[in-house]
Amino acid sequence: MRSDDPRIDRHEVDGQTLFLPSADALAEVLAAGELDGRPVGVGRLPDEYRKVTDSVAGLVIALGADRTPDKPWWVYHLVWRTGRYYRVQVEGQKHGCGWAGVTGNHRVMAVYLGADDPLARMRANWDAPTQPCPGCGEALDRPALFVAGLAM
């Protein structure tokens, strides 16, 4: 498949063009294992990312080209907050009050790999509004730009 397929949206996120395939386009890309002739992710990671987005509402998968033409696409999880997309690392958290769920952490440098100057991009997003524990309203142990009430 080509990245200019009409079922693939483009968004500028952290100075990098990210490609957001529709569910059916993503299924085709993963089945083919390539987009624009470039491999998609490494090993089973893209499939595992898709499984997570299938079970957690609000998470989106995006692909980002590496600056080296033949290197695999980077695969990201995004969430829409305050009028834009953010990259997040999906994490499971349990809180002292008993709440457990899935959260998205934007303060992880790994999710900015593929953008220019990942450390600066992480810093630029550092103060994006985090969410409290849905169970008790106190701060969660790890930053949560995104909170899903999925039982763990």
> Which residues of this chain interact with Zn ion, rule CB under 5 A?
95, 97, 99, 133, 135-136
**Identity of the residue, 16 or 130, whose beta carbon is nearer to Zn ion in the bound complex:** 130
Locate 33 and state its tokens.
């294992």
Least distance in angstroms from the C-beta of 24 to Zn ion:
38
Of 52, 27, 51, the closest CA to residue 40 belongs to: 27
Least distance in angstroms from the C-beta of 141 to Zn ion:
10
Least distance in angstroms from the C-beta of 138 to Zn ion:
5
Least distance in angstroms from the C-beta of 91 to Zn ion:
15
SS (H, E, C) 38-105: EEECCCCHHHHHHHHHHHCCCCEEEEECCCCCCCCEEEEEEEEECCEEEEEEEEEEECCCCCEEEEEE
Burial class (CB in 10 A: 0-12, 13-18, 19+), 3: middle
**Identity of the residue, 56 or 140, whose beta carbon is nearer to Zn ion in the bound complex:** 140
Least distance in angstroms from the C-beta of 152 to Zn ion:
14
Report CA-CA distances (Å) from 103 to 90, 91, 94, 118.
6, 5, 10, 21
Locate 9 and state its tokens.
């949206």
